[in-house]
């Protein structure tokens, strides 16, 4: 992710790096190029505008032209603002509650929900030693239920059975009870997706959310859909109190606009990145590391 943006920004900022003197005009020229680079990376326009505004204000406010190395100073400001834009520190999962802690996973069809449920279950069980149960409340696609069952078996995580003739709320209630009885630490609930955000889906997911009473409500979204990812994240966030976002398929996304826009537009942190189809293709989202990666 960010290959294109990284190349563009590094090229632009390199021109500043060695400069002994910087004028407001130099900075404005550089910011014009940064603006184009961000727009080409598919970062949403209001986000680009506020980003450039903040960098400029800081650069002028600190009077970088008086510093020993003004070019480096501007680069540092861009770096700091990128980190800020993506949410400063990593927001880890909050599982501190009387077990089982419920994690609800929502998103559009094909975003990578079920795969991500498997990845999270694997991470929590095999890296953190938690007792994990998974359940699918996707009653529209029996194939999705079967997919989760197969996935759970492959990673040796407890699978709570469900079927297409059940009501999603009943499934969630049944799974919560089973998780409690089996002394699980975590219950991860996979939900139904649609091709587009629609009223019926939102009604259903709200009911499922109320029954699940989750400590984490994670929105899974395909990073390759760029600004559409941001729009759907906003729509889900208006329907559900999201606690975070998981951005999938970042391994195939050279632009990275969604990663840079989602936090600013929805106010919700990205918690993980999907970085491949395999079960371990997931990593915690660290804004500082991402910013360093972009700026090289
Ligand atoms: P769902 O409909 O939202 O449950 O989506 P699935 O979990 O079935 O995933 C849809 C497709 O996306 C599958 O082919 C997954 O292997 C693929 N996928 C999911 N996450 C990632 C990822 O991080 N990287 C890549 N390359 N593929 C992914």
Answer yes or no: is 250 a known binding residue.
yes
HEC letters along 138-202:
CCCCHHHHHHHHHHHHHHCCEEECCCCCCCHHHHHHHHHHHHHHCCCCEEEEECCCCCCCCHHHH
Q: Model-level pTM greater than 0.90?
A: yes
* Separation of CA 271 and ligand 1 centre (Å): 17
Answer yes or no: is 23 a known binding residue.
no
Q: What is the gyration radius of the CA atoms in the chain, in angstroms?
A: 21
pLDDT 10s per residue in the chain (296 long)?
A: 888 889 988 888 888 877 777 788 888 888 999 999 999 999 999 999 999 999 999 988 888 777 778 888 888 999 999 999 998 777 789 887 789 999 999 999 999 999 999 999 999 999 999 999 999 999 999 999 999 999 999 999 999 999 999 999 999 999 999 999 999 999 999 999 877 778 888 899 999 999 999 999 999 999 999 999 999 999 999 999 999 999 999 999 988 999 999 999 999 999 999 999 999 999 999 999 999 989 88
ipTM over 0.90: yes
Q: How far is 212 from 76, CA to CA, in rounded Å? A: 44
Measured from the Cα of 111, ligand 1's closest atom is: 3
Upstream peptide bond of 130 is cis (omega within 30 degrees of 0)? no
């Amino acid at each position: 992710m960010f290959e294109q943006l990284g190349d563009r920004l590094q090229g632009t900022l390199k021109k500043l790096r060695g400069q002994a003197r910087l004028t407001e005009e130099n900075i404005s020229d550089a910011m014009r190029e940064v603006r184009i680079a961000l727009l080409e990376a598919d970062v949403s326009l209001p986000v680009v505008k506020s980003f450039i505004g903040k960098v400029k204000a800081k650069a002028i406010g600190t009077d970088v032209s008086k510093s020993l190395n003004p070019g480096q100073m501007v680069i540092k400001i861009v770096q700091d603002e990128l980190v800020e834009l993506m949410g400063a520190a990593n927001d880890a999962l909050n599982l501190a509650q009387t077990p089982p802690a419920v994690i609800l996973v929502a998103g559009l069809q094909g975003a990578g929900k079920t795969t991500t449920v498997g990845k999270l279950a694997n991470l929590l069980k095999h890296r953190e030693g938690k007792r994990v149960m998974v359940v699918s409340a996707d009653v529209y696609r029996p194939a999705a239920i079967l997919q989760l069952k197969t996935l759970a078996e492959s990673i040796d995580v407890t699978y709570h059975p469900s079927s297409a003739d059940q009501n999603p709320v009943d499934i969630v209630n049944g799974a919560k009870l089973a998780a409690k009885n089996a002394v699980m630490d975590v219950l991860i609930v996979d939900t139904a997706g649609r091709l587009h955000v629609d009223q019926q889906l939102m009604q259903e997911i709200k009911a499922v959310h109320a029954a699940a009473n989750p400590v984490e409500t994670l929105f899974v979204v395909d990073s390759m859909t760029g600004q559409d990812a941001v729009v759907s994240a906003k729509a889900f966030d208006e329907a559900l109190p999201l606690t975070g976002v998981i951005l999938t398929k970042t391994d195939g996304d050279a632009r990275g606009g969604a990663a840079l826009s989602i936090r600013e537009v929805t106010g919700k942190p990205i918690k993980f990145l999907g970085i491949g189809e395999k079960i371990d293709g997931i990593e915690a989202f660290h804004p500082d590391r991402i910013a360093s990666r972009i700026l090289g």
